[in-house]
Structures are given as structure tokens and as C-alpha cells.
Amino acid sequence: MRGRKRGLAADVLGLAAAVVVLAASAHDNTADTALLDRAAAQTDTVQTTLADQGLKNAVADHGAALGIGVDIIQRNPADRGFVPQPKRWVVEQTYRTLALHRRLLRDYEHRPASSESHVYWTMSDATARRPTHTSTPSRRGA
């Protein structure tokens, strides 16, 4: 199966702290476990992560073994349709920023490491634009 699955750990500002790129056929729990490993290896300040309700207990146990607390945010059963979840919306905004860059919009890369490096390059671009309040050019050219 072609395609990539990106796992992204973002800080409170929406900047990528860790990135994992796997084949699209990989299970979400595999990606989450790899992402916890990567976040623990790259940063020593991660204490708590927020995750959606699809996360399995094995991933939460793996995070606890690494010294990272995994808080699963449950959706309110009374809500209908799409409702942004508090705090987790930051990651969705980061994915939106990634989608504005053409190279990450499609699967052009042969190696997952190349795709990961493009995610970090995109986040560098977004960080450099923040002080001047300039926006990232959209893929439509407008």
C-alpha cells in the first residue's frame, strides 16, 4: 500500500517536538508507540501527552514506562458532529500548516526519513514567519 502515516508530537505553541513517518498500513498504536519513543529520545522535558480516545492502554503503559504520562481525552457523548477537543486542537492546526506545503501534501518521498526531514523544514519555515506575522503561501497561489 502506498502512502504515509505521520505521527506528530506538538508542543503548546504548535511546533513539532517529534515526528514519526510510517507506512500507511501501520496501525495507529504502532505509530503512537514509536512517537513516544522518539519524543523521549529527542527531548527530556516531555512530561505529559494528550491523546484521543482511540489510543489503547498498551500505549499508555509504554508511555508510563518512559516516564511520560498519557492523558486520554474523552469526547463528550452529548456532542454531535465535529467538535474540537481542548488542547488537542493545537496538533490539528499543526497538521493544517503542514498541508500548506506542497511537498508534504502528496507522497513524493521514497524514504520515511526524507518525509520526516520535510516536516521539520516546514516547521522551521512556520517558526521563521511568526515574528513578522507573514503567512505561509497557500498551495493555490492566493
Per-residue pLDDT of 56-73, as tens digits, reads: 788 888 888 998 888 877
CA distance 124 to 51: 24
Residue numbers in the chain where pLDDT is lower than 50: 1, 142
Q: How far apart are CA 99 and CA 93, in angstroms?
A: 10
Per CATH, the number for 4-125 is: 3.30.420
- Tell me the whole-structure pTM to 2 decimals: 0.72
User: Which pLDDT does position 1 carry in this prediction?
Assistant: 45
Torsion 37-34-116-85 (CA) sign: negative
Domain ranges within the chain, ordered by starting residue: 4-125
What pLDDT score was predicted for residue 116? 81
